[in-house]
Structure 1
Amino acid sequence: METQQELDYRRIADAIGFFRDNFKSQPKLEEVAQHVHLSPFHFQRMFQQWAGVTPKQFLQYLSVEHAKEILKNTGASLFDTALETGLSGTGRLHDLFIKVEGMTPGEYKNGGALLKINYSFADSPFGQLIVASTPKGICHMAFVDEGEDAAFAKLKAIFPNAAYNRIVDMIQQNALFVFSQDWSRLDEIKLHLKGTDFQIKVWETLLAVPSGGLTTYSTLAKKAGYDGASRAVGTAVGHNPVAFLIPCHRVIKATGDIGQYHWGALRKSAIIGWEAARRGVKQ
């Protein structure tokens, strides 16, 4: 006999399939809820708990992903792309791209052609870093484990047509001060993040975890406003584009295990220990 949890999961899977098959018609919440035999209120709550985002946000992500494929693989105009995606015009496409991708559809189509990115390499207590910045702030920071050429190639893959300049600027210098100065000065560091509203909300919540402190995925999910969506929050943590400054290393499993880390579990343990030691010295 099917348990309630299995039934709920099947309904959410069915709803996701319905969204994927019908997103071009931009179905309303009521229509999808009726398809899975739930009231709009209960469907909204259940979907967010299981998927980590609201049904509306999921539909937006599907729409933008479809538009991205069209812009990437065809010569379609923004107007034709909007219509093919099920949107009423380029205005809605523009607003949706800004909301989900942090850039205009034109910027995406051009691969960041108008974006100017400075980048440099620097040493840290945990290995070499590549740090990249736009005039708005740090857009990328990662540990270099496979050589500078490979690290730059990964950066360039994000915005293949941006103009890159290997130079150290003040934005990068301020960010690197975090290894030698008080973490409380984090507000002096500017970030230029590209991500969904959900991801950015999770990253913002991570910034509130103090140096030397730890949190769990479930606690982070609750504080971010997505109680019960630990798995989706974990995925957002894993897509953190700015190592160390956005402290995804401070998230551990509820069992107390350190857990995985994009740049290696050993490095994660070293960072946690280093921060705890510095906090103890200051106290």
Structure 2
Amino acid sequence: MTAAPPETLTLERMPTPIGEALVVTDETGALRAFNWTDYEARMRAWIARHYPKAPLVEGAIPAAVRAALSAYFGGEARALDGLAWRASGTAFQLKVWETLCTIPAGETLSYAGLAERIGRPSAVRAVGLANGANPISLVVPCHRVIGANGSLTGYGGGLPRKRWLLGHEGASFKEQLAA
């Protein structure tokens, strides 16, 4: 879902049950970034690197995007399906991100399973790196990727958020026991 660089980016801060979210849309209403306030510096650096000519202004995102996010956090796990997004990335990253969107709410997939879905079964590490570079977390559901043994693995928003998101969606996963 690539497109021309945005002319302007709008940032709205939204309270959620797991912290304040940062939601960034372009002038067409497409999502360009989603993150959490405790990772704001990282998100702003990514935006500056990928969209250097687009000013980031605080304001209101489109009502439809806000409504979908509110519905999701209100219990409608599939409310984010179909939200428009655009991201700057390599062809490989974009393929991984587009494929993440095929994992339905309530389901999970391993990194190896994701690599197989994109037709690159030996690219498990590269898939992991692309998954971790996803700028539109939640909507491009990188949190639905778990370890081959069903355990939680890294998430850019932190494992407590990943645990909450998967539980909210009704997905199964294994808790790792402390050693």
- Per the shorter chain, which TM-score range? 0.7 to 0.9
Find the counterpart in structure 1 of residue 45 from structure 2: 154
CA 1:263–1:169: 2 relative to 1, 3 Å: closer
Alignment-mate amino acid for residue 167 of structure 1: G
1:249 to 2:143 alignment? yes
Matches within 5 A, 1:135-154: 135-136=27-28, 137-145=30-38, 150=41, 153-154=44-45
Q: Distance in 1 between matches of 2:106 and 2:86?
A: 25
1:179 shift after superposition? 2.4
CA distance in 2, matches of 1:140, 1:185: 14
SS, match of residue 114 in structure 2: helix
Relative to total residues, which structure has the larger helix share, 1 or 2? Answer: 1
Listed one character per residue, the Cα deviations across residues 233-280 of structure 1 (whole Å, up to 9, x for unaligned) are: 111000000111111111111122211111111211121112118xxx
In the superposition, the TM-score normalised over structure 2's length comes to 0.81
Asked if 1:183 corresponds to 2:78, the answer is yes
Instruction: Give the letter for the 2:32 counterpart.
Output: C
Between Structure 1 and Structure 2, how many residues are aligned? 166
Look at both structures and tell me which one has the larger radius of gyration over its CA atoms.
1
1:1-283 map, 5 Å: 115-136=7-28, 137-145=30-38, 150=41, 153-154=44-45, 156-158=47-49, 159-170=51-62, 172-177=65-70, 178-180=72-74, 181-183=76-78, 186-187=81-82, 189-276=83-170
- Per-residue deviation at 1:207? 0.7
For the residues of structure 1 that align with 2:43 and 2:79, how far apart are their CA atoms?
Answer: 30
What amino acid is the match of 2:48? Answer: A
Q: What's the CA shift for 1:154?
A: 3.4
8 Å Cα contact 1:221/1:227 also seen in 2: yes
CA RMSD of superposed structures (Å): 2.5
Contact 1:144 1:151 in 2 (8 A): no
Q: Comparing both chains, which one has the higher relative contact order based on Cα–Cα distances under 8 Å and sequence gaps of 6 or more?
A: 2
Report the CA distance shift for 1:223/1:153 in structure 2 as closer, same or farther (over 3 A).
closer
**8 A Cα contact 1:139 1:193, kept in partner:** yes
Return 5+ residue gaps in structure 2 as ranges: 172-179
Amino acid in structure 2 at the alignment position of 1:140: A
TM-score by length of 1: 0.53
Aligned-residue identity in percent: 32
Which sections of structure 1, spanning at least 5 residues, go unmatched? Answer: 1-100, 104-111, 278-283
